[in-house]
Amino acid sequence: MAAASGDSASGMMSSGRLTLTAWLVCAIAAIGFAFDIYELLMLPLVIKPALAALGGMTPEGTPLLVPGSPEYTKWARALFFVPAIAGGIFGLLGGYLTDLLGRRRVLTFSILLYAFSALAAGFATSLPMLLFFRCLVFIGVCVEFVAAVAWLAELFPDREQRERVLGWTQAFSSLGGLLVGAANVLAARSADILPAIHGGHEAWRYTLISGVIPALPLILIRPFLPESPVWAEKKRAGTLRRPSIRELFSPALIRTTVVTTLVFAASYGIAFGAIQQLPQILGGPKGHAAILATAKAAQDEAVAAADKAGKPAPPPGRLKAIAGNATDEAVATVTIWQEIGGLVGRVLLAFAALRIVGRRTLLRLFQWPALLVVPALFWWISTQLTNPDSLPWIKAGIFVAGLFTVSQFSFWGNYIPLVFPTHLRGTGESFAANIGGRVLGTAAAWLTLTFSAATPPDPVRIALAGAAVAGAYAVVGAILTHWLPEPDATLEH
């Protein structure tokens, strides 16, 4: 659809309403944002059973990699942090290519990359293979966010329309978090009736494979998506300057680049340092009493069912898998509350962005409460793991923590397109989002796992380390926001 590429900004509106093309643009962006978070939040849900399955077995049939062991900790840190490094480095290259080749083209290939890499990860037969495909997933996710944000910002140059489109499409990110929690629950419940993979019915594999979903509508809608009119016009006129990472550190942009990168990292550090460790805290062998009771009840039910049918009790390996699936389901129901909170926070930010002109003020509206709530919540959780009645309160707390933390991610999607010029928009966004968020921010997970390493694993130590790491990131972000530049009044500069 060649004409679509040359659409002007007005091609997105007709009589004050979004055109069909605009709705297609918003739909693809929303799907992309949703599955970005879907993929990022998937690892905490599947890491424990994946390491147990791929790390080898003892002659007695028990996993070699058990939570808290040095080898388990090494691979857990690798799966959290190595893909983030790969995503940050290659994501920066993707941002450069977004400025060089166009927003639409890079957006399309990034979604296809992470979707089919997620599919392949579900068939991994070794930990290095799983790590490789998770790296490809992260690269696709990192590039997709940058390309989508630049694309939307330039397709909708009117401030109010742009804020609405970016705000509401990014709200689907939290829907992605809800979807991955629901997918994990569904996989745990349906694993036995799904096709066997490598001779087994492991729920974590089906959860990974579900990441292929966003590729399906993209393949159909891709021909109808327009290119950014701002980028396309400059490209045709020969006035589009070549992007340069070095220019990000020129006197005119160095403050924007450095402060935006570090405050972006702080937002991600709160999430990855504490909130994303919640499955490890609640679902481990010494996890929350209510969840351990659920797993034991599932095993007892399986034994009773076998006895009633006159069959022998399931073997130890099968009972362990039953307990693991029940634990995964119970933990997923808790993390869903985090994503409901995140969805509410994103919606609140979408409304606030239209009414609060100062970007620093808008960020602080969510940043300061997160600084207080998240460390306090995880300290409190560390004292409540043996109290089965505390689980509803943990759900309420993680809802509030998700609201104030996840909403900050939407802020960056609205903010960073406005502080870099057209020829550097993708490159600048990519540096802030990928080096800041994906590398420095997700390093918080590595720090928490390192500070809390113990044999056997101690969820109290993980919760306390998460509180300290998230609190440190939040303090740094709150301080540096004082120097966060306010964007120019116009998008194009």
pLDDT grade, residue 91 (50/70/90)?
confident
pLDDT higher than threshold 60 for residue 491:
no
pLDDT higher than threshold 50 for residue 2:
no
- For residues 131 and 79, the answer to whether their CB atoms sit within 8 Å is yes
pLDDT higher than threshold 60 for residue 455:
yes
pLDDT higher than threshold 50 for residue 66:
yes
pLDDT higher than threshold 60 for residue 100:
yes
User: What is the pLDDT, as a whole number, of residue 234?
Assistant: 85
Instruction: Summarize the confidence of residues 289-304 as an average pLDDT.
Output: 85
Residue 488 lies in a domain: no
Residue 398 lies in a domain: yes
* Bridge partners of residue 63, in order along the sequence: 57
Residue 467: which residues within 8 A CB-CB, separation 6 or more?
Answer: 274, 374, 375, 376, 377, 378, 379, 382
pLDDT grade, residue 13 (50/70/90)?
low
- For residues 14 and 240, the answer to whether their CB atoms sit within 8 Å is no
| Lowest-pLDDT range of 102-116, 255-269, 355-369 | 102-116
Instruction: Summarize the confidence of residues 186-212 as an average pLDDT.
Output: 86
Residue 136 lies in a domain: yes
Mean pLDDT of the chain: 85
pLDDT higher than threshold 70 for residue 35:
yes
Residue 315 lies in a domain: yes
Residue 198: which residues within 8 A CB-CB, separation 6 or more?
Answer: 123, 125
- Residue 193 maps to which CATH number? 1.20.1250.20
39-55: per-residue pLDDT in tens? 877 887 788 889 988 98
Residue 168 lies in a domain: yes
Range of the domain at 372: 16-230+242-483
228-265: per-residue pLDDT in tens? 888 888 888 888 788 888 899 999 899 999 999 999 99
113-140: per-residue pLDDT in tens? 988 999 999 999 999 999 999 999 989 8
pLDDT higher than threshold 70 for residue 465:
yes
- For residues 431 and 257, the answer to whether their CB atoms sit within 8 Å is yes
| Lowest-pLDDT range of 61-70, 270-279, 343-352 | 61-70
164-183: per-residue pLDDT in tens? 888 888 888 878 877 887 88
pLDDT grade, residue 61 (50/70/90)?
low
When divided into structural domains, the chain yields a total of 1
Instruction: Summarize the confidence of residues 83-108 as an average pLDDT.
Output: 85
Name residue 445's amino acid. Answer: A
- Could you give the C-alpha distances from 127 to 198, 294, 311, in angstroms and in order? 15, 29, 36
pTM (2 decimals)?
0.78
pLDDT higher than threshold 90 for residue 385:
yes
Residue 48 lies in a domain: yes
User: What is the pLDDT, as a whole number, of residue 68?
Assistant: 66
Please state whether beta strands 17-18 and 13-14 pair in parallel, antiparallel, or not at all (unpaired): antiparallel
pLDDT higher than threshold 60 for residue 162:
yes
SS (H, E, C) the chain: CHHHHCCCHHHHEECCEECHHHHHHHHHHHHHHHHHHHHHCHHHHHHHHHHHHHCCECCCCCECCCCCCHHHHHHHHHHHHHHHHHHHHHHHHHHHHHHHHCHHHHHHHHHHHHHHHHHHHCCCCCHHHHHHHHHHHHHHHHHHHHHHHHHHHHHCCCHHHHHHHHHHHHHHHHHHHHHHHHHHHHHHHHHHHCCCECCECCHHHHHHHHHHCCHHHHHHHHHHCCCCHHHHHHHHHCCCCCCCCHHHHCCCCHHHHHHHHHHHHHHHHHHHHCHHHHHHHHHCCCCCHHHHHHHHHHHHHHHHHHHHCCCCCCCHHHHHHHHHHHHHHHHHHHHHHHHHHHHHHHHHHHHHHHHCCCHHHHHHHHHHHHHHHHHHHHHHHHCCCCCHHHHHHHHHHHHHHHHHHHHHHHHHHHHHHHCCCHHHHHHHHHHHHHHHHHHHHCHHHHHHHHHCCCCCCCHHHHHHHHHHHHHHHHHHHHHHHHHCCCCCCCCCC
